Chain A
Amino acid sequence: MKSGQITIALGRAERGEAGASEELWKLVYDDLKGIAARRCAALKPGDTLQATALVNEAWMRLQSDVPREWDGRAHFFGAAAVSMRNILVDQARKKQSLRRGGGVRPAELDIEIADLGQGGEDDPEQILALDEAMTVLATRFERPAQIMMLRYFAGQSVVEVAELLGITDRLVERESLFARTWLRDFIDRKAS
């Protein structure tokens, strides 16, 4: 468990130190994957593991090591969302390359993402398209992108996102509607 390191990294990220965010993401990424791997061992066929559960578990584990008065929630979930996105994108890339006939079965954890509403159920293209769209969205609309990161990749609810970002529920709802519309539009455009 790297919670000690994560705590330190969170502290540094809080203070805005250079490179701290990247380090934090890396640590959280490893941690999430570790949790996912362990949890998979406990799952039965047909059980699903949710990003939400994964991220929250990572947070709770972290929290038990973190001093009470200190709240690195926003940073952590931000990092977790980025990590989760990376995990999913990595997966998708691997699957894609496998389908193209290359490589061997990945030895490490393999997870898939939910149907994005287009294409086949297990289409790695979807997540890659979403990844690209998210990147563009973030350059133009920072907060809606941030909201989507937390909502979709860190699996936080509207209320939780509102708390994390210190804005109202209504604003979260409004901006996530905007972001979803924008992303849909962007992905559709790319596809056609």
Chain B
Amino acid sequence: MKQYFINTWEGLWTVLVGMKITFKHLFDPAVTIQYPDVKPTMPERARNRLFVNMDDCIGCDQCARACPVNCISIETLKSTPDDTPGETSQGKKKALWVTKFDIDIAKCCFCSLCVYPCPTECIEMTKVYEFSEFERNDLIYKFAVLTPEEITDKTQKYDEFQAAKEAEKLAAAKAKAEKAKQDAAKKADDNPDKKAE
């Protein structure tokens, strides 16, 4: 019987205690971040969307090889001496035209493994985290700055250069051969002189 009244009292009292707690929380400031209006601050080394600074990229393909999910694909083209891609910001000479630098961010696992091998520190993880798209193809980011015309132009140039080089080489080889012949001929010519002396 005594337990009965204790139960009653405890039932009511604990409800009141609970109500007091919720009442206090009614006036506590909310912890909600109003997301689209207020952006959450990212931690220092947050890994989100990849960004490639093409000015610095030398097309070394190391990031593509480091990627565990093969989301980076790079194609390069050798440059000609008269039309070089210039230098990186750290003064390193670029030897390759980067014709294709695609990152399929949908595949990316945000491991940051591509960032470490980069010799010019041109690929990096940014703090941008809002990049949803309606089309899956839109998630393939194309970083290459060259237009298709430029690429064909460069290819042509390289081919011409290559051809020229070939021709030069051929010419050189021919010249060499001719020179050797000449030398031989000269030698042959010289000898009789010596003999004549």
The answer to whether A binds B is no
Interface residues of A (CB under 8 A from B): none
